[in-house]
Amino acid sequence: MAQTFENLEKYQGCSQELIEQAVRQATDIVKGNLKDFTDFFQSPNTKQGFYWQTENAEWTTGFWTGVVWLAYELTNDEEFKKTGEIHVNSFLNRIQKKIDVNNHDMGFLYSLSCVAAYKLCGNEKGKEAAILAADHLLTRYRENGEFIQAWGNVGDPKDYRLIIDCLLNLPLLYWATEVTGNPEYAEKACKHIHTAMQCVLREDHSTYHTYYINPETGKPSYGVTHQGNRNG
């Protein structure tokens, strides 16, 4: 672990010993949660300060698996790897059966879980699942407007919108181009970025959370907030 943190001391103003102590404490907490969150996932929010067990649904389950893989990367502890691999199987099943995937959150779900498993361990199921997720994300790309639709049935006029969060889902598409050699993933990610930059930035340099696109003309229509401070 010392080599991992040898360059942090000068940047963080902390001793290497203190950094390593903090990492040990963090990874110990993760390990303590494995008994409850190996065959289950953490809920998207807490109740009285605690997560409850859920199946692999909603849009946040990849975050917990990502933490598990970070703990494995830092410690090489096989217990973390075992949990991560169990989660990969669950994510593969989820995308194959299209369980709660009618949204653009494939990057949140699959980059942190399955891409990580492939990069760290060469996990082929992780690679398969992540490519399937990237394929699914491409189905939400709307040629008329050149963007990835956030939620709802694709093409539905009332849901013809992007949200700023999707920018964090796009690395999955760039990764898919890297491993498959298919440029379509990266090309459509790039087009989405250009569309988003044209409409989500306000004049005061803040951003809209949600922006509707005119389904007939493909032009940016108006911005609102679904999760944010204000509409205007």
Catalytic residue positions, numbered = 105, 165
Give the alpha-carbon dihedral of 159, 162, 167, 168, to 10 degrees. Answer: -30
Counting other chains too, the contacts that 76-79 makes at CB distance below 8 Å and 24 or more residues apart are: 77/27, 77/31, 79/31, 79/34
CA dihedral 84, 104, 228, 61 (to 10 degrees): -20
Q: C-alpha 114: how far from its chain's center? A: 10
DSSP class per residue in 121-171: H--HHHHHHHHHHHHHHHTTEETTTTEE--BSSTT-GGG-EEEGGGGGTTH
Phi, psi for 179 (deg, rounded to 5): -85, -20
CA neighbor of 169 nearest in space, from 69, 72, 57, 59: 59
Burial of 95 (0-12, 13-18, 19+ CB in 10 A): buried
